[in-house]
Structure 1
Amino acid sequence: MSARPTIVRRTGNRVGKSLFFKKSCSMPNSSCIATPVQLSLASLVLALCAASSVEAATLRGTVQSGEGRRSTPLSEVAVTLYEATTGAPTVVGEATTDRSGKFTISTPSKTSSSIFFVTADVGDGALLVTILGPDLPSRATVNELTTVAASYSMAQFYRTGVISGNSFGLRIAAGMSNNIASPETGESSRVLQKSPNADETNSLRLTRSLGNLMAACVSYSLVRSTFFGLTTPEGGTAPENTAVALANLARDPGKNVELIFALTLIDSSYYSGLFGMPDAWTVAVKVNDSGSNRYMFGGPAAIAFDTDGNAWIANNVVQGGTQSAKHVMVLKPNGEPSDGKSNTPKSPLSGGGILGVGLGVTIDPFGSAWFSNFGWGGDNPTEEGNGSVSQFLTTGKAVSPKDAYQGGPVRGQGIQSDDQGNIWISSLGNDSVFVFPGGDPCQSSGVELYPGSQPFGMAIAPDGSAWVTASGGILGEHPSAVGKFHLNGEGEAELDFIHFVGNALKAIIVDSAGNAWFSSQGDSTVYAYSPDGTQIGAFSGDGGVFHPWGITVDGEDNIWVANFGPLELDSNFTQGRVSRLCGANPAGWPPGKTLGDPLSPDTGYTLPSAGSEVLLANGTPLYGKNSEPSYAPLMRQTGLSIDQAGNVWTCNNWKPRFRTDITSNPGGDGIVIFVGLAPPPAKLR
């Protein structure tokens, strides 16, 4: 390990032995020197003030193997309470469990600007962990299931062998840990135990199977050493304890799947594990609560994170029909709907001319969220009609008028803000690319491309230039192309170059070196171009890439792809998947890999059902009452984004049955969050 815990024993706030007082006095030799009595009084006042500003706390807990009545207390176990930092974590307190597995730790403070976590060292590399979050609870349980939650949620912060990182990302990760296991009871979270999770996905059972694996590691040294070997990174060192080994698995879940599955069958401390071997050891949490059962998710299409970690989500249609949705969603960093408290938005949002938002959502550097309105059914935004671009403050207040900003873009798709607040829009409806200089729609500037170009995706390069995909039509009925633009000195958009490539191009992203990566849905390929417009790669088939749509880049410059599946009338895309490919940065490649090689398994990262049909947030089946059930919790994907804890959020945009969906009921349900799977990006997207 490159970082070791720093033991800082804190027994409370103390006033120093010497105090220095300085008083102004205009008279020489006057009595301006504090007396001993005054010093004692001042010391007492300072001590009382210091004590009143910090609230002491006591953490009582249990270390056990298993959960509930099936659990076994672990005695004589060293327990340590930590506060995470950007370096080695700080020890806040220590204890040893009694014969009942109980422990008590007193602390000088119950809140942290970062997070608290507690470990239980069972010995010989068997380490159990519980994430407590920024506020210290009164009680905690430490067991194998809380360790699964800790290692997966903190996977991107466990790379040095200890939990370490910035407080913003750590707090987001702590919230996701609570979505897997309760730190108070050590049982599966309520989020995983109920719809849209439970047996609608395999995550509840998968986490319990991993709990059984951890229990076997606690009991058997041979299992432990075997697991360490199976989770040793290529060219890296073996993990020193079970928590680190599990974090290694979370970051590389497609490795040694079959052998690890065999280890999960040795112990049965946690019942209701997996029935069979998964495609990969990913843990995913599905969320579909928009904040209102009246305005449910209906084709979420794209996600942008604000500076508080809230997810702003574009939404296509009214669930169950083809009408344009007049609401968009905002979720907290843990996936709950934003509730409007503390000057935050209240989800779902309406107003500002919102009308059937497609792929377009972005956050500008001045505190506004922007949506491009595409329109569905009979509600199509036009130059004369219903608006094209909507703007909200990140408090949730609409800035644009009730019919949105008129003129310029028509049926917008991709929309992005650059670092100066210039808003770039792909205007599918009039074959053009527009920019609002400084975010001012009254100064709109546009460039018309070729007939039938139908611009779709939009991405901003590090130098401020804008890359655009010309789809050639959603179904690819016209030629497709990729182009690059810049803003000239007069605040006008100018085209640098355009190259014809692919078929039915969709989303585009630019990596840290300025290379553009984009999805070609029609020919099931991901293309890569250098900053000067030279093609550097075309990748298809591997890693689960299958008619891709959404695309993003992680903190190591590797590429993530959301797969939509084929746009064919008879297709029933029940194997939704997310893919990961080696990007253009060799430092992010595992040994033996090169540009475009798959980092995800052949299936991609999936989320199968565990046997229950998919339900909407109001409890009705995905396709409505009395309909044929669907068992595809991960559907046709469009946009995906990575938050600052490394969670991959991906949009269930369309339902699986294309023939039925295209005519009457397309809107997919909810967001799927793959926990701790990706290195956090260097900047918010």
Structure 2
Amino acid sequence: MRRRRGVLLLAAILASLATVPSQARTAGGPPGPDAAGQCGVVRSGDSPVGSAEVTLYRAGDEPGAEPQVLARTRSGPDGAFRLSYERPSDPAAVLYLFADAAPDPAERSAGRPGEAVRLAAVLGNGPALPQVVVNERTTVAAAYALARFADRHAIAGTNPGLRNAAAISHNLADVGTGEVARVLATPPNGSLTSTLAAFNTLADILAGCVEGRTCAALFALARQPGQPEVRDTFQAAVAIAHAPGRHAAELFALAAAAPRYQPSLPSAPDAWTLALRYSGNGHELDGPGNIAFDAEGNAWVANNYQFAADPRESVCGGRAVLKFTPTGEDAPGAPFRGGGLYGAGFGVTVDPKGHAWVGNFGFQGAGCELDQNRFNRSVSQFAGDGTALSPDTGWRGGGIVQPQGVVADRAGNVWIANCGGRSVTRIPDGRADQARAVATESLHKPFGVAVDPAGRAWVTGNGSDSDSVQVLAPDGTPERSVTGGGLRRPLGVATDSEGNAWVSNSGIVPLPCEGTTPADTAEAVTGVTAPHPGASVTLIRPEGSTPDGPFTNDGLFLPWGIAVDGDDTVWVANFGGHRLARLCGVRLSACPPGHRTGQPISPPDTGYTSDGLGRNTGIQIDPSGNVWLANNWQTVPLQTNPGGRELVVLIGAAAPVRPVAAGGPSRP
């Protein structure tokens, strides 16, 4: 049936070419050597949208820049249109379509487009497709993927963030057919999570306005406090992406007005987030621990175990570092091996030279016959193309023992938290032969490490006998030890642009180092079905002081990883509860009106939940504003092979972060 509809659709487009006017080359004159054509159709579900003004734009190349109009025309009664334009010489240029129409079909047939209905589609960077479909699905895909680059009337931004965001939109909707894209439609997504149904329901919410029934209600519900009125469907979709937890149930009710897309949600979600799962080639991810982005927005991933699909099969330590493109595929040549890599943990970073560094913790499943103590005293270094730069034994100097957190600062120094050594290793300017250990006897089980704008390193200590954070000067000299403020089994740490440190307190998770085993960790979290009283986030100011108490809400279940986005808002991954939390940071202007520092922006009773999440450790923000999480362990982990199998990406949920920006986040 779908194939027959496609044939009829293409026939209708071809039949209309002789009658649909084209106002393409706005400068006039004969076609140039880079002339291109684009056929398409504007639809709502299976119904054509006629008399829509269709405009092809080239996105602005910096924030606030005016986009360039490449062509403009109007759709015929069957929704078909044809555009001719001069193709931009820049292969990275982002092209997109807006189709503007009145919500009342009678007004559309009279040729009076209005601003209430604006449908959108993002085109690819390659040759023009035989046809494009502009409908509610392509509009939701464009609005979410480009949420952080879209203002009220235009799309603009810098690369690689803008270019990557445009590509990511095609993981949600296929602009050639108007159907769900393959990535969203198939495992590990598809029917395995609720994201596909949520995506279709969002399209239905817009369809009610396209049909002329629900525009006023949609625009009122989508409008954010303190922001201008929403005036069209694309603006509404962008506003929902920015504040997915607002009016979730009321927005869900609007989908009933025009239920065009299936499958759809049977009930309202807690928030309108769209979470995609990536699994690479399907047989490489097994216990991803953390993520780091390079200058092009590619994701380097530390992987705990060798892959095995059966959790009952005993596995040894992973011997590859993974590298994913911004759209979730293996980068050319990846995964990469060698350099002494074995059983990587939470530690992965990319330095200013584009080199990836991975900490070899020595993770392996129960039953592996190898002696992990032979492998857990090094870090591995890789060039951007995956070439191993460290020897077969890894870099072993500087007292490295069971390394966990690894971060490179803006000067190129690499900092390593030695979970099994009560020390931090500093590699100056990435020169491994000069690595030295900084003793931190007060820091039991060093784990997370972050660098602030002044170049100081902040290191968490997870040991129950000394819940603390150690601050080290840029040269490695210990400055102070911070205790109190609610620190309780702390794990991740991140810094903001003003030099504050944010620490995630698991409350109960003991790290498997210095005599503690992964089985001990599993025992501590098994049976935890509600947020633990110690689960919280601690703010430490640059001079070392803390508020009277930590920040708590039910979005914080077993906090592990933590990240700060380009607006200084704080994102927290959980090792339980299938949720993540977003907190207001110190920059109150970036928070909803009336919010205070530490107050949840995500729903306080649930956080942002997703059935695509497992036990999450690492969380990072990419240059397109996507939030990446590592599904590190299975919900019920068998210690022979407990590893999770996916990365999870919340599309367009955060303010973009400049890649390779250790030292506090900064906007691209």
Q: TM-score range by the shorter chain?
A: 0.7 to 0.9
Deviations 1:236-270 (A, max 9, x none): 11112110111000010000011001001111211
Q: State the shift of 1:506 in Å.
A: 0.7
Equivalent pair of 1:434/1:444 in contact (CA under 8 Å): yes
CA distance 1:452–1:583, change in 2 (3 Å): closer
Aligned counterparts of 2:28 and 2:239: Cα–Cα separation in 1: 35
Aligned counterparts of 2:418 and 2:261: Cα–Cα separation in 1: 53
Letter in 1 for 2:50: S
Q: Partner of 1:134: helix, strand, or coil?
A: coil
CA distance 1:423–1:167, change in 2 (3 Å): closer
Q: How does 1:73-472 map to 2 (within 5 A)?
A: 73-85=48-60, 86=62, 87-109=65-87, 112=90, 113-123=92-102, 124=114, 125-135=116-126, 137-138=128-129, 139-220=131-212, 222-289=213-280, 291=281, 293=283, 296-319=284-307, 320=311, 321-338=314-331, 340=332, 346-377=333-364, 382=373, 387-407=377-397, 408-450=399-441, 453-472=444-463
Aligned counterparts of 1:149 and 1:360: Cα–Cα separation in 2: 33
Aligned counterparts of 2:243 and 2:224: Cα–Cα separation in 1: 8
Equivalent residue number for residue 497 of structure 1:
480
Aligned counterparts of 1:323 and 1:271: Cα–Cα separation in 2: 43
Deviations 1:558-596 (A, max 9, x none): 10000113xxxxxxxxx3111100111122221110010
Equivalent pair of 2:451/2:458 in contact (CA under 8 Å): yes
Aligned counterparts of 1:360 and 1:400: Cα–Cα separation in 2: 16
Residue 651 in structure 1 maps to residue 630 in structure 2: yes
Aligned counterparts of 2:146 and 2:207: Cα–Cα separation in 1: 20
Q: State the shift of 1:669 in Å.
A: 1.5
CA distance 1:380–1:428, change in 2 (3 Å): farther
Which residues of structure 1 form unaligned runs of 5+? Answer: 1-6, 15-50, 341-345, 566-574, 609-632
Equivalent pair of 2:376/2:403 in contact (CA under 8 Å): no
Letter in 2 for 1:515: N
Letter in 2 for 1:673: V
Equivalent residue number for residue 679 of structure 1:
655
Which residues of structure 2 form unaligned runs of 5+? Answer: 1-23, 103-113, 508-533, 662-668
Aligned counterparts of 2:553 and 2:488: Cα–Cα separation in 1: 19
Letter in 1 for 2:185: Q
Deviations 1:165-220 (A, max 9, x none): 11421111111100100011110001111100111111111111111111111012
Equivalent pair of 1:292/1:348 in contact (CA under 8 Å): no
Letter in 2 for 1:307: A
Aligned counterparts of 1:241 and 1:164: Cα–Cα separation in 2: 18
Q: State the shift of 1:479 in Å.
A: 2.0
Find the partner of 2:641 among 665, 668, 674: 665
CA distance 1:239–1:442, change in 2 (3 Å): same
Aligned counterparts of 2:219 and 2:377: Cα–Cα separation in 1: 57
Equivalent pair of 2:626/2:650 in contact (CA under 8 Å): yes
Q: State the shift of 1:134 in Å.
A: 2.7
Q: Partner of 2:600: helix, strand, or coil?
A: coil
Kindly name which structure, 1 or 2, has the bigger radius of gyration based on alpha carbons: 1
Among the aligned pairs, what percent are the same residue?
A: 37
Letter in 2 for 1:642: I
Aligned counterparts of 1:557 and 1:643: Cα–Cα separation in 2: 14
Find the partner of 1:552 among 523, 544, 563: 563
Letter in 1 for 2:324: L
Q: State the shift of 1:537 in Å.
A: 6.1
The answer to which of 131-140 and 144-153 deviates more is 131-140
Aligned counterparts of 2:575 and 2:303: Cα–Cα separation in 1: 16
CA distance 1:270–1:292, change in 2 (3 Å): closer
Equivalent pair of 1:505/1:518 in contact (CA under 8 Å): yes
Deviations 1:491-527 (A, max 9, x none): xx21000123422211110100000001111221111
Aligned counterparts of 2:372 and 2:479: Cα–Cα separation in 1: 29
Aligned counterparts of 1:158 and 1:129: Cα–Cα separation in 2: 12
Q: State the shift of 1:380 in Å.
A: 6.4
Q: State the shift of 1:436 in Å.
A: 0.5
Equivalent pair of 2:537/2:552 in contact (CA under 8 Å): no
Q: Partner of 1:82: helix, strand, or coil?
A: strand
Q: Partner of 2:125: helix, strand, or coil?
A: strand
Q: State the shift of 1:394 in Å.
A: 0.8
Find the partner of 2:499 among 514, 519, 522: 514
CA distance 1:216–1:402, change in 2 (3 Å): same
Aligned counterparts of 2:127 and 2:559: Cα–Cα separation in 1: 43
Residue 72 in structure 1 maps to residue 39 in structure 2: no
CA distance 1:446–1:336, change in 2 (3 Å): same
Q: Partner of 1:429: helix, strand, or coil?
A: coil
Q: Partner of 2:257: helix, strand, or coil?
A: coil
Q: State the shift of 1:322 in Å.
A: 4.8
Equivalent residue number for residue 40 of structure 2:
61
CA distance 1:207–1:111, change in 2 (3 Å): farther
Q: Partner of 1:210: helix, strand, or coil?
A: helix
User: RMSD over aligned Cα, in angstroms?
Assistant: 1.9
Aligned counterparts of 2:257 and 2:660: Cα–Cα separation in 1: 42
Q: State the shift of 1:549 in Å.
A: 0.2
Aligned counterparts of 2:442 and 2:600: Cα–Cα separation in 1: 36
Equivalent residue number for residue 529 of structure 1:
540
Aligned counterparts of 2:377 and 2:657: Cα–Cα separation in 1: 33
CA distance 1:404–1:10, change in 2 (3 Å): farther
Q: State the shift of 1:543 in Å.
A: 5.4
CA distance 1:75–1:301, change in 2 (3 Å): same
Letter in 1 for 2:48: P
Equivalent pair of 2:345/2:363 in contact (CA under 8 Å): no
